[in-house]
Structure 1
Amino acid sequence: MRGNVIAILTFFSMLLAVAGAQSAERWAELPAFPSIPVAKTSGMADVNDIKMYYAEYGEGEPILFIHGGLGNADVWGHQVADFAKDHLVIVADSRGHGRSTRSRQPFGYDLMTSDYVALLDYLKIDKVTLVGWSDGGIIGIDMAMKHPEKLSRVVAQAANVTTDGVKDDVLKNKTFRHYIEVAGDQYRKLSPTPTEYEAFSRKMFEMWATQPAWTAAELAKISVPVTLAIGDHDEAVKLDHTEMMAKDIPGAKLVILKDASHFAMLQDPIGYDAMIRDAMAGR
């Protein structure tokens, strides 16, 4: 009898260990946004019809980091700390996100891209490496098509170029739902309209339902170097869609981020930063 009890206890211990290992997979968790270093300069730029928050760090070849939908610039805390050692790093909150204001214009990628082009003009920066995550990556691809003179290269992680590149069940995923909740908490802390997260997010969902909608012929005109990265456990963007983008964009490099999801910059900052440095070195 005692032997049976020990065997049962051992079996349940093994089950708990397996369950613990599964829950500890880094791609299944959303790490907290890191603290971001103190900026060299920051402010609110008059851009198009909004006031756009921006911050600059370090010195050297400029890199512009653009966050994903519903988020804000602080998601890049790990990357700012790393790249500000040897680069001029620029981060900003897209219109309506974080500390930036929004207008009555409907959200659209062309509009948000024009905001970032205007911000670079405001900061008197001629050309940047653009690192974009999710919506930020889509903005990077849009800028590569319409304003290539502003870019040295684009590193786009978890971007899509048509709406069918997004997984149908993304909003059922617990990690992505957690992100929406965290983004709401941060919006209420940072936004000049802290009570309007639901209205703001509804407008973003309306944009996502129809945009982007670019053709292979449009992507084929991109002339700047592009690296496309996607986590091997991305909750939102389909791998085969990213592979298709890599075929349609001339010379594009595809990078699969191992044991990472849509939130790779938080889950594996060392590997993520190495991927960016490889792209900048042409590797």
Structure 2
Amino acid sequence: MRRTLILVFLVLAIPLHTAMAAERWEALPPTPAPVPGLKTGHAELNGIRLFYAEIGQGSPVVVLHGGLANSDYLGNQVLALAGHHRVVVVDSRGHGRSTRNDQPFGYDLMTDDVVALLDRLNIQKADIAGWSDGAIIGLDMAMRYPNRVGRVFAFGANTQTSGLKDGFDKNPVFAAYMARAREEYTHLSPTPDQYDAFQEQIGKMWENQPNWTDAQLRTISSPVLVVDGDHDEGIKREHTEYIAATIPGARLLILPNASHFAFLQDPVLFNAALLDFLGDR
């Protein structure tokens, strides 16, 4: 018996002039400015120099961004969480302000980076709020380090390469995101002239990972909320539903009129769902 609870926010009685305007999911809002008050640092671990930052007090939440991006993208969520939690943001290896080495990119490797950072910060257990690759890392962590993970808010994840839509990188919104990611990399990265090599490494990972089995997903014991926008450019809706149906006890949330970038397009609704799931603990 399927245990997944599907929650869909419905928007009713939309004025005619609103309906005629460009849809929210067709826009890529600006990347938020760095959150004021973040205490930043770098951790030497696993052969790289990992950028991280902290803000707030309370139960810890690690916020993880998507592929090619950096932690600034989830600034609206960090601000919302900081009033209730100790928030740790990370630039994944090779992304943003973090370095990379010659090791091939992989989700296990990036998950190991997060766990090593938690060790450095003396955090035994944390909730995870992840977008795209960050959500995949959160699920990987729940499978491989179950004692280190509380709740997992997994937005825009796939657990098999077959869950991706063909040609998603040609979608105008996603293409605009990739162009922006290239520009931001040149301003933030310690190796600003190596974006093409970095992107090639990420692309190789996306071609082959993740590819988890049903049995692997069923080992997850953490509470999981599987979230996506109803117009995600890259993730098939049936795959999102499959993830929620396969992880024991997981719930499914589809955000209306939003895409793979719902956290920018509708931060109010996104943050309400995030705070409701994580709770004021």
- 1:184 — aligned with what? 182
Q: Alignment length, in residue pairs?
A: 265
- 2:173 — aligned with what? 175
Q: 2-side partners of 1:262 and 1:239: how far apart?
A: 12
Give the alignment's Cα RMSD to 1 decimal: 1.5
Amino acid at match of 2:44: D
Q: 2-side partners of 1:224 and 1:272: how far apart?
A: 21
Contact 1:132–1:156 (Cα < 8 Å) also in 2: yes
Contact 1:230–1:257 (Cα < 8 Å) also in 2: yes
> 1:22 Cα deviation (Å)?
5.3
Deviations for 1:179-236, whole angstroms, at most 9, x for unmatched residues?
A: 0001111100000000111110011011100000100011011111010001000001
Q: 2:158 aligns with which of 139, 157, 160?
A: 160
Which structure carries more relative contact order (alpha carbon 8 Å, separation 6+)? 2
Which structure has the bigger radius of gyration? 1
Q: 2:133 aligns with which of 135, 147, 156?
A: 135
Partner SS, residue 155 of structure 1:
strand
- 1:230 — aligned with what? 228
> 1:25 Cα deviation (Å)?
1.1
Most deviating of 215-224 and 39-48: 39-48
Question: Where does structure 2 lack aligned partners over 5 or more consecutive residues?
Answer: 1-15
- 2:94 — aligned with what? 96
What are the residue-to-residue correspondences of 1:237-276 with 2, within 5 Å? 237-276=235-274
Amino acid at match of 1:164: S
User: Would you say 1:112 and 2:110 are equivalent positions?
Assistant: yes
Partner SS, residue 128 of structure 2:
strand
* Normalised TM-score (structure 1): 0.91
- With over 3 angstroms needed to count, the CA separation of the structure-2 counterparts of 1:22 and 1:93, relative to structure 1, is farther
- With over 3 angstroms needed to count, the CA separation of the structure-2 counterparts of 1:222 and 1:57, relative to structure 1, is same
Contact 1:39–1:55 (Cα < 8 Å) also in 2: no
Partner SS, residue 217 of structure 1:
helix
Contact 1:62–1:128 (Cα < 8 Å) also in 2: yes
- With over 3 angstroms needed to count, the CA separation of the structure-2 counterparts of 1:252 and 1:24, relative to structure 1, is same
Deviations for 1:148-192, whole angstroms, at most 9, x for unmatched residues?
A: 111111000010000000000201100000000011111000000
Q: 2-side partners of 1:208 and 1:99: how far apart?
A: 21
- 2:146 — aligned with what? 148
Q: 1-side partners of 2:58 and 2:184: how far apart?
A: 30
Percent identity for Structure 1 against Structure 2 = 51
Higher helix share: 1
Question: Where does structure 1 lack aligned partners over 5 or more consecutive residues?
Answer: 1-16
> 1:265 Cα deviation (Å)?
0.6
> 1:23 Cα deviation (Å)?
5.7
Amino acid at match of 1:270: V
* Normalised TM-score (structure 2): 0.91
Contact 1:36–1:76 (Cα < 8 Å) also in 2: no
Amino acid at match of 1:133: W
Partner SS, residue 260 of structure 1:
coil
- 1:3 — aligned with what? none
Amino acid at match of 1:49: G
Most deviating of 211-220 and 34-43: 34-43
